[in-house]
Every structure is written in structure tokens, then in C-alpha cells.
Amino acid sequence: MDKPFEPACSFSERAQQLTSSAIREILKVTERPEVISFAGGLPAPGGFPVEVVRAAFDKVLATNGRAALQYGPTEGYAPLRQWVADDLNSAGANVDADQILIVSGSQQALDLLGKVLIDKDSKVLVEDPSYLGALQSFSLYQPRYVPVPTDDGGLIPEAITPELAAGARFLYALPNFQNPTGRTLDRARRVALVQRAAEMGLPIIEDDPYGELRYAGEPQPGLLALGAEAGATVIRLGTFSKVLAPGLRLGYIAAPRAIIHKLVQAKQATDLHTPTLTQMAVYEIVKDGFLQEHLPNVREIYRKQGRCMLDAVAREFPAGVSWTKPEGGMFLWVTLPEHIDSAKLLAEAVEQNVAFVPGAPFYAGTPRANTLRLSFATVPEDKINTGIAILGKLLRQYV
């Protein structure tokens, strides 16, 4: 047998610590067409405005093609940066265009923030549980995570004591329809959070990829807007992946100028700039109010499929199992009786062509093996009913 090829190089300590995403590994299983997958946090393809995107690219290339195909400034396409600033300000923020950095998806934003804010063993506060992609990105810079307790209302501001916050580089939080739990912070908690952050000198990274996907309840003010009132430092991440299409790989960071300056330097060493053609096309799409016409249709997709899943779990899951009831986004978080390991449940479910994400990888601290995440965004209603019925049958064997 031939020996595996060994590269003639030594990997860095950082590279040796790299691990694959637990979700991405599960998605390999879901490539089989017979598998009903509740695993991926992928947007609903039915919400992609294909013809509008095509027309925008055509128009940009026809009217300004040479500029669109040229290198551009690291900070991003100026009209798009101004549009983002205006959009944030319409929701109560107070930012200028030079406080906006356009990035290649919010995952790049997380990586850049890790580069400029985290040293080895830096204290970083994260919700417990938290977004797996952020944990994976930040972990490359070897922080010391300190989990912040949560409950059914999300992150508990009172849990952020002076001792907990002392020396922390930042708190990372998703206040709207959090990934993985689907929970949303109410206004009282948001106000309390930014006030405590201001008092303790604790910067907040507000990651809000799902905020425009609200289909129930009342909209809540962003931490960026509240932070401006309280004197807190808030760094906001946004993306066009959930409101237009993830294949565009376009997001943004809104932050104080000194932070943007350092992020620009880090991005110059990474990819010089986000593709100019994509930025110009997205600006062409959004500049005249298209999102106000488009988003209600997208929200209705998620509302219907989310309602279908909530009805299905209520019907099929046995007593002793609980779940969140999100007001938007694309996830349900399920808590099983303590003796059930969701990783073992997944193995049994995959044998019956159903997949989900076990909850343990979402914890930076002590994992809770009796949790799991379900995504309804890309699953038709008939398959939601079938898949949840299969999971319910498996769970009834345990309880």
C-alpha cells in the first residue's frame, strides 16, 4: 500500500489547532438526496431574487464595467458604505460612512476582529451556548473563553459582574434570533446590557445576521443604537447573506473609527478588498428600496416553515422535551431529558435519513449533551412533518 503523501513543511502551532466545523461534517451526510436535513443554517433558496441579482450585475457591467472589474479601496465601495450607514441610522444608530468596512461575508468580519482584538489567552466573553462559527473563528487566536449564562430570555446581563468582565477584550452576542437557540433579547435586557458594558468598559460585538427575518413579535432596538446612548463601545456585524443571497459573500462591520482603521489594515493583509463588482451590484439592488419590497416575502417563507416545525414538535415530541419558540430567524433549540445524548440520537436518526446538529459544540464552557439545534429554513413542510415524526419516535424510545 502506498504511503500517504507527507508535505515537506511544518505546520504552525495555529494550524495544528485547526478543527473542522461540526456542522460542516454533518452536512457531508446530508448531501444524500434521501436525507431530511435540519442541520444546515442555510437560507431558503426560494427567497433568492435571482432575476433581480442578474439584472443588477448586467447593468453594472454595461454602464460601469471597467471600474467594477478593477481593484477597489479596502474600506469598500463608497456608495454602499453610505447606504449601510444610512440604513443603520434609520434604526437609531449614529454612524458615518467612514465607520463602515465592507467585508467578504460576516465570517470574515469575525476573523478580522479576532486578528485585531485577541491575543493568546485573552479573556473573551461569549453567550452560553454561542454561534459555532464564531467560536471556530476566534479559537484560531487562542482566547480564554468565559461563558455568560443564559436562560429562556437569552443572555442574562446581571451575570456580567465586574469580576467577569475584568480584562475581557469583548463580549460576543447575537441579540436577535440567536444561533443556535433562536432566542431574542427583550428591550429591558438590551438596555441593561449596554449600560453594564459602558460602566465596565466592556466592548460588545453585536452580530446580527438574522435581524431582518422577524415574523412575529415586536422589533427591538439594536445594541449599536442603544450603545450610542449609553456610551458603550458596540461593534456591529451585518450581512447581505440572509436578505439577498449567501453566494454574494457580502457583509459589513460598523465600529468606531480607530477600530475600523485597524480592521482595514488586517483586511489589506488578507484579501486587499471585497470584490468591487459584487459591491456595486448589491448597491444597485438596494439603493432604491428593493429590500422593503422583497423582505416580506422572505419572512413569510420562514414564518410558514417555522410554524410547521413548531406544530410538528408539539405533536410528535414526548413529555420531558422542551424547545424554544423563536420570533424570527431559522432555528429551534431543543432540550432533552438529561440522560439523552443528542450525538447518539443523531447516529440513530441518520440511519433513518434524518439529520440535525447536536448541541454540545455550541458551548465554549461545559457542554450540555442533551441539547440539539433544528433548522427549518430549507426543508419543505411535508418533509418537516416526516422528519420530526421520525425524531419523535426515536425520542419516545428513551423516555
Rounded to an integer, the average pLDDT of 109-129 is 98
What the block records as the C-alpha cell of 84 is: 449601510
Confidence (pLDDT) at 299: 97
Rounded to an integer, the average pLDDT of 353-363 is 96
Q: How far is it, in rounded angstroms, from Cα 379 to Cα 109?
A: 28
Type of residue numbered 106: S
- For residue 5, pLDDT beyond 60: no
Confidence (pLDDT) at 338: 96
Decide which of 3.40.50.2300, 1.20.140.70, 1.10.645.10, 3.40.640.10 is the CATH code for 71-288.
3.40.640.10
- For residue 137, pLDDT beyond 80: yes
- Delimit the CATH 3.40.640.10 region(s) of the chain: 71-288
pLDDT digits (tens, 9 = 90+) for 325-352: 999 999 999 999 999 999 999 999 999 9
Question: pLDDT band for position 2 (50/70/90)?
Answer: low
pLDDT digits (tens, 9 = 90+) for 262-288: 999 999 999 999 999 999 999 999 999
Residue showing cell 446530508:
30
Which of 8-12, 23-27, 306-310 reaches the highest mean pLDDT? 306-310
Confidence (pLDDT) at 31: 73
Q: How far is it, in rounded angstroms, from Cα 253 to Cα 256?
A: 10
Confidence (pLDDT) at 25: 67
Q: For domain 13-40+292-396, give the CATH number.
A: 3.90.1150.10
- For residue 134, pLDDT beyond 80: yes
**CB under 8 A, 24+ apart: contacts of 141-147:** 141/114, 141/115, 142/14, 142/17, 142/118, 143/114, 143/118, 143/169, 145/364, 145/365, 146/364, 146/365, 147/363, 147/364, 147/365
- For residue 19, pLDDT beyond 80: no
- Delimit the CATH 3.90.1150.10 region(s) of the chain: 13-40+292-396
Share of the chain above pLDDT 70, in %: 95
- For residue 261, pLDDT beyond 70: yes
Confidence (pLDDT) at 247: 96
Rounded to an integer, the average pLDDT of 105-112 is 96
By C-alpha distance, which of 210, 213, 143, 152 is closest to 171? 143
Number of helices followed by number of strands (H, E) in the chain: 14, 15
pLDDT digits (tens, 9 = 90+) for 187-239: 999 999 999 999 999 999 999 999 999 999 999 999 999 999 999 999 999 99
Confidence (pLDDT) at 148: 98
